[in-house]
Structure 1
Amino acid sequence: MCVSLCLSLCLSVCLSLSLCLCVCSPVCHPRHKTAVVKMDEASLTVNNELDAEMVVSWLSDHCYQCVYQPLGVVPAGPGPGLTSSMDFTVGTQHGITLQLNSSPVSLELCTVHYHFWEHGNYSLWVKNLNDSSVVNCSMITDTETVNSYLREYSLTHSLTHSLTNDLGFPCRTVETATDTILPGPATPSRRLRSLDTFRGLSLVVMVFVNYGGGRYWFFRHESWNGLTVADLVFPWFVFIMGTSISLSVSSALRCGLSRFSLFTKAVWRSVQLFLIGLLIINPNYCQGPLSWDSLRIPGVLQRLAFSYLVVVSLDLCVAWNSLDNLPFLLYWPAWLCVVVLETVWLCLTFLLPVPDCPSGYLGPGGIGDMGQYPNCTGGAAGYVDRWLLGENHIYQTPSSRVIYKSHLPFDPEGVLGSINSVLMAFLGLQVTAIIIHYLALSAVSLVSFFCCLSGIISAVLTKCSLNEGFIPINKNLWSLSYVTTLACFALLLLVLIYYTVDVKRWWSGAPFYYPGMNSILVYVGHEVLEEYFPFRWRMTDSQSHAEHLTQNLLATSCWVLISFLLYRKNIFWKI
């Protein structure tokens, strides 16, 4: 065990040091990038023919109940029929509303809603018509632009199609543990190739969005409520970890291993995952010795370690050496424990007093909620993390800063959210027990039922709305509706993959099957080698979505290829 931990930590440290050297070297330093026009921005010229100074403010369509933000001031026209103008830069990711007020008397002149396109040039003319009391605001497109979100479709399609064809389909089966995180003392009697395929699919999407996703907003984490592609993969990874726990524990018990020995192995693996996670998210060695004062504690692998340990413990408490009874009856004590944990989450979230914040607050703080609660980011979740871990030991630049301008640190892998990640992993555990116990079509029917049930629960919790529900879908908080919604998606996707891969054998699972067999190596490797060639190179035009998309797709494809070659050599990194 000591040798395994030492090797794992040494590999992480060495790769992190290598990453640091790249970051500190002139080749990778941002000062060598030249940018003329930035991505996701357009140029706006505001022309003022009025005889009064004008204040321009803006508000993103994506910002819920937010206050207008100042954009700039346009001087009054120098004389009758003469125009003063001022140039501004506006965002193009979402539609925005421009509000124009007279100054110094704050009188609203007009509001203009518009969705600008990237690298476009626009003019907003503000003038009086025949009646001097009537202000006319008109938007004019000076330069035709192209929707940058559509023009790279052919490139994406051709690269992914080429990757799939080049790797082909696996021609043999390598009997390894069902998950590189989990114990594998014995080979399960019934191998579910669909689980490795699902895990690999989630991991490939995770690598792609972590590398930038072409710098598109829908491949980045949502600023607060709602979902993007980037918000799907981590819960799916937690879910599939739960499925692997069921297979590993049941297989080990059938082979005669004691529950205590399995528990000690689970503790050891959780410790290793936690320590590796700390090294990955704190790669600041080139700036001197790592400071304990600013060490970030929560992280992806840390949450996986916690969820894994809790769910393994629950499974060991109730699992039998054989699945002769119905899974529902088998796991009812564990379900009670999960219900208790969820009750704790609900009580802390909605009843815990948070200084200067309303009870049960689930908002982003900052300029949200009309700026009433700027220091309440995350409500109880943020307060618990800051009180328990300290402000310097959690994530300093949360996604809520992008739109909501929040200034408090907030960790999306915080303490309260870890409770709901346990629920996600436990759902995976329960579903796998169903798949193993029942015949193929019966298992598909039961899993589909749970999928529909999760969807109904989500609809009730959210009231089928983005922001108006009892508990909105929120990845930053790992809210209960977020877990039930992602569980619904995961169950639907698992049913489809299980039916096509394991039941009908229409698809082998390639190319996603290969990274699914080496998940820890791919995850750790892509994090610490991100700045190295061939995963990244100096771009000709760093403000081009097309070049970023090409780079991110090729980097992701490299990890799929690496996992394929390791699979052919029967090399798997397990902890």
Structure 2
Amino acid sequence: MAVPRAAAFSLLALVVSVRHSAAVNELKFDEALITVSSYLPEPVALLYTSDYCYRCLPQLLLTVPSGTSAHSANATVIISTRFTLTMQVVRGTGNASPVCSWDRLYEEHGHYIILVRSDQNTSAVLCERSEDRSPTNSHIHWAARRDSCKTVTGGPPASSTTVLLQRLRIDKNLRHPNGDVCFPWTPSEVSWRWARVPGVLQRLGFTYFLVALMHTRFSKENLDGEESHQWKAAIRDIVMYWPEWTIIIALETIWLCLTFLLPVPGCPKGYLGPGGIGDYGQYPNCTGGAAGYIDKWLLGAAHIYHYPTCKELYKTTQPFDPEGVLGTINSAVMAFWGLQAGKIILIYRKHPLRILKRFLIWAIFLGIISAILTKCTRDEGFIPVNKNLWSLTFVTTLSCFSFLLLGLMFYVIDVRHWWGGQPFIYPGMNSIFVYVGHSLLGTYFPFNWEIKDWTSHYEFLGQDVLGTALWVFVSYLLYRKKFFLKI
């Protein structure tokens, strides 16, 4: 005899609260609990796809054993609540067509029940969803996070349960509790066989060296040139430095040609995706396209970053360095836009309104380029905004907002004198010192400590706020001492 719907939900809620209390108590922040109860006489599988995983293959989340019309088979899984998930229930082990599917952003610490049963009249499979416990109201998503998937599988309620831990996270040994990537070695273990060659400081050093060398060669002593031609005076900040513009355009042309025309074995030309399970698993070894291929060819796979951000979400197996060779070209282009802003301030220093107008014009121009190349979408454009690839649209989009923000700050601080920039000017004038200091001391007290409450964002938030405040205070003391570390 089939179990009535209301009775089934009541019985399942009791089973969850009694038999899975250990799993429930393990919930940390950004985690929720899902229990699947199946009355079908065959196994069923629950698959998922993250909303942020572009064109991804559904991944197996858990498998529920066969049940009966009188007794359900149950399985419980802890999921991440960071992104909207597309869920699918399929018969068997996961290769069949889904019998039901839905999209939902599960909320932190919520306990959700999925009841899978056959309709008594039509024999169709029904997936009925409910909440056993309401989620907590937490909307602070910028604290450090951990993703995990812990599965508890079992047969009918009378049988014993077994625990299977499935970790869906980047290797914990490579991250501190605050989520910052640390060096995966100790001084006694350093070896050139696998030492990483690219890096943030390496990229900054090469970028500024290239832009500074170029500007040193073509800089002008007299910025107050003749303005005999009105059209030339309107674009004096460009005309005076035409050799620099030629070099930058040539560099960007090289980036475009290598990115979209370089043949990469096993990958389509111009591939910009993450590989792995992305693009429906067609190109699993094409992580980063030409950028990844060039890094492995020039530096060797052992000398680039092995834990890119796409590794966890897209299940990639290839190393990829976000500070690689090809992306450094566009970082130089971005630095050039900063140089251009400085030229505008110096050339039109006697006319603040002209400075603001040019900042606005450049912001609109770069914003239009971004809108066209991205088609105003996240993933569907010609060149999506991608920080790891340091794509052209990443450069134009950030430069667009940088011109807008710089114009606003210029007006508030330099024109109207409403604000002096404190306290941001203190770490800003010693940014390299703060960066290196945090890299060396970020894992020590008082910047970091052992987290006691993993169920809330608040201790992580307090840790981050205190660490930031301490570095601002240190940089203020250095500012008072007139100590500035430069590269």
Normalised by the shorter chain, which TM-score bucket?
0.7 to 0.9
Deviates more, 1:48-57 or 1:501-510: 48-57
> What does 1:78-117 align with in structure 2 at a 5 Å threshold?
79-103=68-92, 106-117=96-107
Q: Distance in 1 between matches of 2:33 and 2:271?
A: 37
- Contact conserved, 2:27 with 2:78, CA < 8 A, in 1? no
Could you tell me which residue of structure 1 aligns to residue 34 of structure 2? 44
Superposed displacement of residue 120, structure 1: 1.5
Show CA shifts across 1:143-172 (max 9, x none).
Answer: 11123225x9xxxxxxxxxxxxxxxxxxxx
Could you tell me which residue of structure 2 aligns to residue 53 of structure 1? 43
SS of the residue corresponding to residue 522 of structure 1 reads helix
Q: Does 1:313 align with 2:242?
A: no
> What does 1:18-167 align with in structure 2 at a 5 Å threshold?
36-77=26-67, 79-103=68-92, 106-150=96-140
Q: Does 1:553 align with 2:454?
A: no
Give identity over the alignment, percent. Answer: 48
Superposed displacement of residue 336, structure 1: 0.4
Identify the match of residue 472 of structure 1 among 367, 384, 389.
384
Q: Distance in 2 between matches of 1:147 and 1:380?
A: 43
Show CA shifts across 1:263-317 (max 9, x none).
Answer: xxxxxxxxxxxxxxxxx9757335x141111111111111111110110111112
Identify the match of residue 416 of structure 2 among 500, 504, 507.
504
- Contact conserved, 1:293 with 1:392, CA < 8 A, in 2? yes
- Contact conserved, 1:281 with 1:299, CA < 8 A, in 2? no
Supply the AA of the counterpart residue of 1:97.
Answer: T
Identify the match of residue 518 of structure 1 among 430, 433, 438.
430
Supply the AA of the counterpart residue of 1:138.
Answer: E
Q: Distance in 2 between matches of 1:282 and 1:64?
A: 30
Distance change in 2, residues 1:469/1:402 (3 Å): same
SS of the residue corresponding to residue 215 of structure 1 reads coil
Q: CA RMSD in A?
A: 1.9
- Contact conserved, 1:281 with 1:296, CA < 8 A, in 2? no
Could you tell me which residue of structure 1 aligns to residue 143 of structure 2? 214
Could you tell me which residue of structure 2 aligns to residue 285 of structure 1? 186
Could you tell me which residue of structure 2 aligns to residue 299 of structure 1? 199
SS of the residue corresponding to residue 143 of structure 2 reads helix
Superposed displacement of residue 533, structure 1: 1.1
Q: Distance in 2 between matches of 1:282 and 1:332?
A: 43
> What does 1:128-277 align with in structure 2 at a 5 Å threshold?
128-150=118-140, 213-215=142-144
Q: Distance in 2 between matches of 1:369 and 1:76?
A: 33
Identify the match of residue 346 of structure 1 among 250, 256, 278.
256
Show CA shifts across 1:321-341 (max 9, x none).
Answer: 121232211111110000010
Deviates more, 1:320-329 or 1:117-126: 320-329
SS of the residue corresponding to residue 496 of structure 1 reads helix
Distance change in 2, residues 1:281/1:436 (3 Å): farther
- Contact conserved, 1:501 with 1:509, CA < 8 A, in 2? yes
Superposed displacement of residue 397, structure 1: 0.4
Identify the match of residue 294 of structure 2 among 364, 373, 384.
384
- Contact conserved, 2:50 with 2:84, CA < 8 A, in 1? yes
Distance change in 2, residues 1:283/1:116 (3 Å): closer
Show CA shifts across 1:444-489 (max 9, x none).
Answer: 0011100000000001111111111111100010000110000001
Q: Distance in 2 between matches of 1:511 and 1:356?
A: 51
Could you tell me which residue of structure 2 aligns to residue 430 of structure 1? 340
SS of the residue corresponding to residue 193 of structure 2 reads helix
Q: Distance in 2 between matches of 1:355 and 1:283?
A: 30
SS of the residue corresponding to residue 85 of structure 1 reads strand
Supply the AA of the counterpart residue of 2:143.
Answer: G
Larger relative CO (CA 8 A, sep 6+): 1 or 2? 1
Could you tell me which residue of structure 2 aligns to residue 324 of structure 1? 224
Supply the AA of the counterpart residue of 1:285.
Answer: T
Distance change in 2, residues 1:502/1:283 (3 Å): farther
- Contact conserved, 2:29 with 2:145, CA < 8 A, in 1? no
- Structure 2 length-normalised TM: 0.82
Q: Distance in 2 between matches of 1:52 and 1:132?
A: 18
Q: Distance in 1 between matches of 2:183 and 2:53?
A: 31
Higher strand share: 2
Identify the match of residue 366 of structure 1 among 260, 267, 276.
276
Superposed displacement of residue 569, structure 1: 2.0
Q: Distance in 2 between matches of 1:136 and 1:475?
A: 42
Q: Which consecutive residues of structure 1, in runs of 5 or more, have no partner in the other structure?
A: 1-34, 153-212, 218-222, 224-279
- Structure 1 length-normalised TM: 0.70
Supply the AA of the counterpart residue of 1:96.
Answer: L
Q: Which consecutive residues of structure 2, in runs of 5 or more, have no partner in the other structure?
A: 1-24, 147-168, 170-180, 226-235
Distance change in 2, residues 1:561/1:373 (3 Å): same
Higher helix share: 1
